[in-house]
Structure 1
């Protein structure tokens, strides 16, 4: 007979965020949304990886070095870590970030057999993301089958874009089959807007561009508090040039590669996703390394210049799309942490009322715009894990907050 226990004490939400280069995880208090633990596993699939965990007092344990062969290994390592966290053993739900859910799956939803079947059928839309994300879900479903598992889609933020920004100029049959501009990094954009609403009473009246710059980079234009336009399209390969992704290409360039190199679409996908972008120009896609090399290395300087010039063009294009610009926000690993990249991008943008204060930028202040700049330029830390936890709580709120809930086993008892 299955054993049930009443969850009456503190309850927590586990968040799993599989990115392009890491697996982030966190535990949030279900009611207060206070983050109790956060961690990251890097080096998945490489000879040496590491796992680092930080508690709510910002104390970081020494990174644990290990060989993580695949996503399953990384997920299992988190499960083993959970065995040791007796105080936070009552996990009420697990929330996941999913990059792509197609046209029919945008808003957060509880994992079901039908949803998993639908996502498996959509792997062709995100072949570099969905397989790993589905593998992670399956790893935790097998370990914790009686918990609620909630998926949150990166495309949800962009679902209300107007038709002229959403659809490609292609025959209607392609649109009907799901070939549209979905946009990505939506959980990051949603978090930034959530924080802006907390800080400003009339933020919905502002025209905003959010630049999420990292290994994967994109921008979103926001007006009336909603996503209006974005740089990525049907896949996370489009838009700005990125660490290992090509960004926007002339369709003729893709046809050229297919015809001249006699390669399959799958091989082309690998080239455009993992062998293009900054790494193709300079041999590395790591922006810190590129900046360190740029003084003596022409290829590194060329890669940085291309990245920043493209960012300038997209800022101007998105501003034109929404008819002006009041606030420019830098976020993401590069956007938050690289004053030099921010300065290069904002340089010579006075023509559109955008100018940063070099001293404020170097001091890494939250507002870095010059006092005479018409555009407010800000730096904000994003937190996709927080948004996943909030969505997970909200989708379960009628059950968990209003009445006692039951689980077959707490994590502590199960393990």
Structure 2
């Protein structure tokens, strides 16, 4: 039977899954390489009911991909890899659906590396490595920006001269694979609600929120880059553009130093002075940790109100992502005092991360996301076709 491999390359990790192709792709194995670039890089593989973790030393993304291919030899056991699906963060204005990754498409996507410097170069490096490893396989790109390409113009543009919009300086939105999965799950769980007004909070080391109407993206907190909107693990989120001018002009910081500050030293890590990991911050219970969490939550609350305004009301809220799925504290604080919007949490259900955690007229759900399955389904449809 044919196999499908999915690759999801981040700034310091690569997630992977193997599926059996068929009427519906069935996951056989999954895992990830994390802490790439450090001397503590490790590969975790879940297969046949067991979970193993092996240290792989100080390797980059190329070395991490090779370690994955080596670990998957017994999983694939000589089976044909018919398709490889890649999460690619930025598809630019051209792509509103998955696309075959030929040479021309890769050249086009390289033009957006500056728009997503933590992800795009690694995404494309994984494509090149997979093409060498599986030259006969379909290589399919699935874009985080594609889900948002139907936004109204006012939700896509900045108040800059129009020529900037025409050259690609516009709001793209990200986390689209996660939002596509949640839209599909909501349609399965509650078809009526899926046709209504929904705000999805994808909260993790990267964090954003999306307004959906009838399962389609209307607006997103992320814009031109994956820096905008909510505070994140190490990224700043919303920032007055004047701060950028001050850092460059008055502080004399180089563009490279500003990029490092905004992408790697800010967010929860910068505010707490401790960690970008919400679990560590909740356990630390220091004043700085509490303040970092309070800021993180305050931005969620502000954007929840804004998204409700964009939608003209609210029917459903969904929490997903590592923090959204696992932090009862963040969910409780984000929804506290939101009765005026129709949101009232059930404290017991929230503590248990139940599927529905609300008692008010607005239904609040916790739905685990699965970006890899979205990718596998797209590849499966392409190789079947």
What TM-score bracket applies, with the shorter chain setting the length?
over 0.9
Distance across 2 between alignment mates of 1:96 and 1:68: 24
The answer as to 2:369 corresponding to 1:382 is: yes
- Structure 1 residues 89-238: aligned runs within 5 Å: 89-238=79-228
1:334 corresponds to which residue? 323
Structure 2: 5+ residue stretches without partners: none
1:39 corresponds to which residue? 31
- C-alpha distance after superposition, 1:332-386 (max 9, x if no partner): 000001111111111111111101010111122111002xx11101100000000
Q: CA RMSD in A?
A: 1.3
Of 336-345 and 62-71, deviating more is 62-71
Structure 1 residue 68: deviation in Å?
Answer: 4.2
1:292 corresponds to which residue? 283
Distance across 2 between alignment mates of 1:224 and 1:85: 39
1:50 corresponds to which residue? 42
1:391 corresponds to which residue? 378
- C-alpha distance after superposition, 1:26-84 (max 9, x if no partner): 011211311111111111111112111112x5x23221112142100110011111222
Structure 1: 5+ residue stretches without partners: 1-9, 399-415
Distance across 1 between alignment mates of 2:95 and 2:353: 38
Structure 1 residue 262: deviation in Å?
Answer: 1.4
Distance across 1 between alignment mates of 2:326 and 2:73: 34
Contact 1:52–1:60 (8 Å) recurs in 2: no
- C-alpha distance after superposition, 1:262-318 (max 9, x if no partner): 122232111110011111111211111110112xx1111110000011111111110
Distance across 2 between alignment mates of 1:220 and 1:60: 36
Candidates 334, 355, 358, aligned match of 1:345: 334
Contact 1:82–1:89 (8 Å) recurs in 2: no
1:401 corresponds to which residue? none
- C-alpha distance after superposition, 1:201-228 (max 9, x if no partner): 3244310000000000000000122100
1:318 corresponds to which residue? 307
Q: Give secondary structure in 1 for the equivalent of 2:191.
A: coil
Aligned length: 383
TM score, norm. by length of structure 1: 0.90
Contact 1:94–1:150 (8 Å) recurs in 2: yes
Structure 1 residue 21: deviation in Å?
Answer: 4.2
TM score, norm. by length of structure 2: 0.97
Of 201-210 and 249-258, deviating more is 201-210
Distance across 2 between alignment mates of 1:321 and 1:204: 17
Contact 1:20–1:216 (8 Å) recurs in 2: no
Contact 2:231–2:267 (8 Å) recurs in 1: yes
The answer as to 2:353 corresponding to 1:364 is: yes
Flag the 1:369–1:204 CA change in 2: closer, same or farther, 3 A: closer
Distance across 1 between alignment mates of 2:112 and 2:52: 39
Of 141-150 and 243-252, deviating more is 141-150
Contact 1:242–1:277 (8 Å) recurs in 2: yes
Runs of 4+ off more than 3 Å: none
Q: Give secondary structure in 2 for the equivalent of 1:125.
A: coil
The answer as to 2:242 corresponding to 1:255 is: no
Distance across 2 between alignment mates of 1:61 and 1:365: 26
2:68 corresponds to which residue? 78
Distance across 1 between alignment mates of 2:78 and 2:147: 31
Contact 2:43–2:53 (8 Å) recurs in 1: yes
Q: Give secondary structure in 2 for the equivalent of 1:123.
A: coil
Is the radius of gyration larger for structure 1 or structure 2?
Answer: 1
Distance across 1 between alignment mates of 2:233 and 2:11: 10
Distance across 2 between alignment mates of 1:128 and 1:22: 11
Contact 1:12–1:88 (8 Å) recurs in 2: no
Q: Give secondary structure in 2 for the equivalent of 1:228.
A: strand
